[in-house]
Amino acid sequence: MAENLNDKILIVDDNQQNLALMVKALKNEKIEIHTAKSGALAFDKLHNCQFSLIIVDVHMPILTGFDTVKIIQESQLSQNTPIIFISSQYKAEADIDKGFAIGAYDYILRPIDLTLFRNKVKTFLQLSRTEQELKLANQLLAEKTIILDQKLKKQIEINTELQFSEQVFEKSVNGIIIVDENLRFIRVNKAFTEITGYSHQELIGKTPKILSSGVQGKLFYEEMWKVLKDKGAWQGELWNKKKGNELYAEMLSINAVKDEHGVVSNYIGIVSDITEKKLANEEAEYLAHYDYLTGLPNRLHLMHTLKKYLSDENIKFLAVMFLDLDKFKPINDLYGHQFGDELLVAVAKRLKGCIRETDLATRLGGDEFIVILNQSSPALEASKKVASKIIQALSSTFHISGKEVTINTSVGIALYPEHGKDADSLITLADNAMYKSKEQGAGHFNF
């Protein structure tokens, strides 16, 4: 492999004699040599030039060779460039262990064997050139692959005869459909009949309207066909209806097939049944925002909603009410966690009965709840009324699993904008006010 005049190396050594010695050893090689007498000067070089090899003296003042290489790596000034450390013979063992830990590729010991030095440099430069040539070859291969992919796609688009492997067509786990220019089914595979419940004979000659669920409106299909007409392809999710009227969700990809004159002759569709995935995503989304036990919105939903309220210019007044149940823990310990869970569900039900649909009741966890009142006028009086209503509702006897139990609650209230203007502050202030209520005994509220 021929040497490259573009090979560049950087030698960093504070000793001018050492630098001169190494430069002299390489003078007959076709190498562009850069030198720096300190780590700081090396950084300046690296900002302006990319090197194939860096040689660094370990023992330099101010910035040692180790420090210099660490900064080079952390700043990403020279990524994946081989580094050779130079060390004195008497410190070699300790330096070598540390150097390889930092990322050295090799070591040269003083006094420098110039023949060995020169050949190591040439070897690393050859490896660097080989690596660059491999990268270039991979790049060219990738470009050729893209060109081939484009040619193949065009060939498929202009092909008037749809060439399908029968085995792939029939054994595909996805539904495959082919419709003519009038959108009538001319071929469907086994997977599609299993997804829809219709037989091959029931579908051929029909249009996809046979599967229409009514979930998507006219505007949805108008937009879908507009994209398909403009771009020749469309992909998206929609709800369709099986033969037995059962709804199912599908991922549909449609591609137009054109003849040599650019006229659409067929459409090919790939269908995947994603009903279970959609249902699982909806369940995961619900669990992410709602308390699994009580069904109330959770902390995440609370923070999202509260921040949304605070950023809405149309919302002028809010009350954040922090509730902590009194006597819940002794009851939970006495009757068990199952009993406690049923009690929390009953509490949540009563709590929702004390507020309007425009308000929000949430469970933080344990026996703590937060209520947000959305008011069109200052929320002081409204929050007093609601707090009293909640205390009265929760202090009434609960009938759980054949037992009668009585609890109460302490309430802390923070008002927006009077007390705070961000979500965290309002919740913290309401929490502090709740503890004041606890000090006064069960069944009190404070601002």
pLDDT tens, residue by residue, 343-393: 999 999 999 999 998 899 999 888 999 999 988 888 888 889 999 999 999
At 393, the amino acid letter reads A
Alpha helical stretches, state H, 7-91: 16-25, 39-48, 65-75
Give all strands of the β-sheet with 317-326 in edge-to-edge order. Answer: 360-365, 368-375, 317-326, 408-416, 445-446
168 vs 154: CA distance, rounded Å: 21
Rounded distance, CA 31 to CA 101, Å? 29
For residue 90, pLDDT over 60 is answered with no
Q: How far apart are the first and last CA of the chain?
A: 82
Residue 415 carries which DSSP code? Answer: E
State the pLDDT at residue 201: 92
- Which residue type is seen at 21? L
Radius of gyration of the chain (CA): 37
Inform me whether the pLDDT recorded for 167 exceeds 60.
Answer: yes
Share of the chain above pLDDT 70, in %: 94
pLDDT tens digits, residue range 284-327? 777 778 888 888 998 888 999 999 999 988 888 999 999 999 99
Question: CA-to-CA distance for 180 and 221, rounded, in angstroms?
Answer: 18
Identify whether the C-beta of residue 243 lies closer than 8 Å to the C-beta of residue 196. yes
77 against 372, higher pLDDT: 372
For residues 182-211, average pLDDT: 91
Say what the pLDDT of residue 324 is.
93
Return the pLDDT at 3: 46
Contact between 286 and 355 (Cβ < 8 Å): no
Q: Is the peptide bond before 417 cis (omega within 30 degrees of 0)?
A: yes
Domains of the chain: 8-133 (3.40.50.2300), 166-278 (3.30.450.20), 290-446 (3.30.70.270)
Q: Is 363 left (phi over 0), alpha (psi -120 to 50) or beta?
A: beta
Per-residue pLDDT tens digits for 35-67? 999 988 988 888 888 888 999 998 888 888 888
Task: Give the pLDDT band of residue 414 (cuts 50, 70, 90).
Answer: very high
Q: With bands split at pLDDT 50, 70 and 90, how would you rate the model's confidence at 165?
A: low
> Cβ distance 187 to 163 under 8 Å?
no
pLDDT above 50 (res 160): no
Indicate the burial class of 207 (C-beta count within 10 angstroms; 0-12, 13-18, 19 or more). middle
Neighbour-count burial of 294, counting CB atoms closer than 10 A to its CB (0-12 exposed, 13-18 middle, 19+ buried): buried
- The predicted pLDDT at position 76 comes to 77
For the cut 90, the answer to whether the pLDDT of residue 125 exceeds it is: no
- Who has greater pLDDT, 31 or 103? 31
Length of the chain: 447
Instruction: Quote the mean pLDDT of the chain.
Output: 86
Q: What is the pLDDT of residue 166?
A: 66
